[in-house]
Structure 1
Amino acid sequence: MDDSEGSYGTDDRTRPGFLGREALDLGVLLLAAGAAHVLVLSLGHSDGGVRALITVGAILLAVSALHRWHRHRSAVVRRSRGGDRPGNRSSRGRTPEAGDRLWSVRVTLADVPGGLAELTARFAALGVDIRLMQVHPDGVETTDEFLVSAPAHLVEETLYAAVLGAGVREAIVRPADVHELSDTTSRTLRLVSAMVEGATTLEGALLALSCAQDVERADTAPEGMGEEDTSGTTMTLPSPDGAVLVVRRVGVPFTAVEFARCRALVQVAASLLGRSRQR
């Protein structure tokens, strides 16, 4: 719409009430100047008046400094508690409070643009801080795992209900361990280094990498599975010594990405065993 039809730009001179505000500001300034002049004339001709003016000025300065300090301290406290506005405690700015709990939230949803917008908005509304995110693509759907820090009063049921309300197809919420906060690449390299140095076994490295609860060494794979296979919460891998490693995890199915990571770790262990036999 054209400016002549009633729209206003960003310039103060085109905003409604601009002249009224100018007149008000000028009137206040003149009134304050006149009052100060009368006060100086009435008190400034005696020693007591001069001392009174100095005292009043010092009090005003002290009150102003105290007020500024109080506002600064209040702002620091608000930031430490998660921001100045409700629902603003997102992954970009919330400072973790003592007693916060770490959760793993794994969701499956359609792999389309904007699919995570509603979920992250619900996290922010609950004061949940996203610390780490891993994507497990699988065709038309994708599995996303979030490691989040949530206020201590937030229970698993509340977090689960919020996630389901974001339109995901399925969700798994479980308590997480602080060691899971490291990114997968760094954790894998540390595990490989530990295997090279003999500080951990292949079974221990698989447990740590897959966040599983059990690794069993068996002569054959479970019924219906191959020696290198995955089915729900069970994964099988060929051990370098000829046995079959059966990895099990409670409640959280393995993804193709996790299977590939563990298989690569087994291949590293096989290479290490082959080199040791050649020496």
Structure 2
Amino acid sequence: MDAPRSATHRHLACEVCGRYPEPPKVRLTIANVVAMLPIELAVHAAVVGTGWPLLLKVLLLAATATALVIWVAEPGVRHLLRSWLHAPALRRRRALEVAPALWRARVTLPDTPGALERLSRALAKLGVNVLSIQSQPVTGGVVDALVLSAPGGLTDDDLLDAMATGGGAAPKVWTTTPLALVDAPTLALSLATRVVANPAELPYAAAELLGAERGFAHHPVDPAAVARGTVLKVPGSPEPLVLLRPDEPFTPADVARVSRLAELAEAAMLRAASGR
């Protein structure tokens, strides 16, 4: 694996406009003083010794020093001291580069003893820690959904290669957030309570449960996406529930979970209609 490239002041520039972030006020003040002081002294030395009227001297000193500082000295000093000016931002950038990152992963393992251990060992060689795991039996093996904590600098290719080396088939990874560590049964119960209280929340609760996007039954669906299993349609009332997850096909367990949630919403609607 290639070592992560160390951040320099060039990495702080905006990719669109090329501008750097505003440096801290203390450092900017020091840089401005460094730029202005030599020019002020030079202009004063050149003008004060002349026999011109005082008002003319003052106007000439103010105009000349201000113009030289704005157009020459300040941009030059900012350019020369840019690494020092942006040192605090660079330190924060370097800290982010080495900070652990969270990933969601899905991989198919053989349903044999030691398969998960081999996968964990391959990931551990990269310093990756498995934070949670959910297993779903499928034909020919077991699909494991993992939440991984990986050192900063690791890429998705690094994780995919490690899982393949550990005996995993069809590995996939996605960046994620600490929300992925929420206990799945607790999340499901919370969403079920939300749907019972308001059945109209079903599309949003289902999307949150499966980490998907809400689709609409009257919108055309790409047949290729249906074939890949990235579109899920669940019959419901008053219209079918459509969920989209372009990068991650739905599993039979996903279908079962959202179907039960839809049945719960329908039961809540019938109960409300009957006035019970």
Report how far residue 147 of structure 1 moved: 0.5
Corresponding position of 1:275: 271
Kept after mapping to 2: 8 A contact 1:132/1:183? no
Q: Partner of 1:190 in structure 2?
A: 190
Residues 177/217 of structure 1: CA separation in 2 closer, same or farther (3 Å cut)? farther
Q: Could you tell me which residue of structure 2 aligns to residue 114 of structure 1? A: 114
Q: Secondary structure at the match of 1:246?
A: strand
- Residues 72-131 of structure 1 show CA distances to partners (whole Å, capped at 9, x for unaligned) of xxxxxxxxxxxxxxxxxxxxxxxxx98321101100122111111211001222111211
- TM-score norm. by structure 1 comes to 0.58
State TM-score, norm by structure 2: 0.59
- Which residue is equivalent to 1:234? 231
Q: Distance in 2 between matches of 1:224 and 1:250?
A: 11
Aligned to 2:175: 175
Q: Within 2, Cα distance between the matches of 1:244 and 1:224? A: 20
1:63-78 correspondence to structure 2 within 5 Å: none
Decide which structure has greater helix share: 2
Q: Is the 8 A contact 1:217 1:244 kept in 2?
A: yes
What is the root-mean-square deviation in Å for CA atoms of aligned residues?
Answer: 2.8
In structure 2, what is the Cα distance between the partners aligned to 1:188 and 1:230?
Answer: 27
- CA–CA distance in 2 between the matches of 1:132 and 1:102? 11
2:231 alignment partner AA: T
Structure 2 residues not aligned, in runs of 5+: 1-96
User: C-alpha offsets along residues 141-196 of structure 1, whole Å, 9 cap, x if unaligned?
Assistant: 21101001111222222111111111222111111232121222111101011223
Letter of the structure 2 residue corresponding to residue 126 of structure 1 = L
Distance 2:223 2:165 in 1: 38
Write out per-residue CA displacement over residues 54-89 of structure 1, whole angstroms, 9 at most, x where no aligned residue.
xxxxxxxxxxxxxxxxxxxxxxxxxxxxxxxxxxxx
Give structure 1 regions of 4+ aligned residues with deviation exceeding 4 angstroms: 219-225
The unaligned stretches of length 5 or more in structure 1 are 1-96
Q: How many Å apart are 1:265 and its aligned residue?
A: 0.6
Which residue in 2 is equivalent to 1:99?
99
1:128 counterpart residue number = 128
C-alpha distance in 2 between matches for 1:137 and 1:252: 17
Is the 1:207–1:215 contact (alpha carbons within 8 Å) kept by the matching residues of 2?
no
Identity across matched positions, percent: 28
Deviation at 1:198, TM superposition (A): 3.4
Displacement, 1:218? 3.5
Equivalent position of 1:254 in the other structure: 250
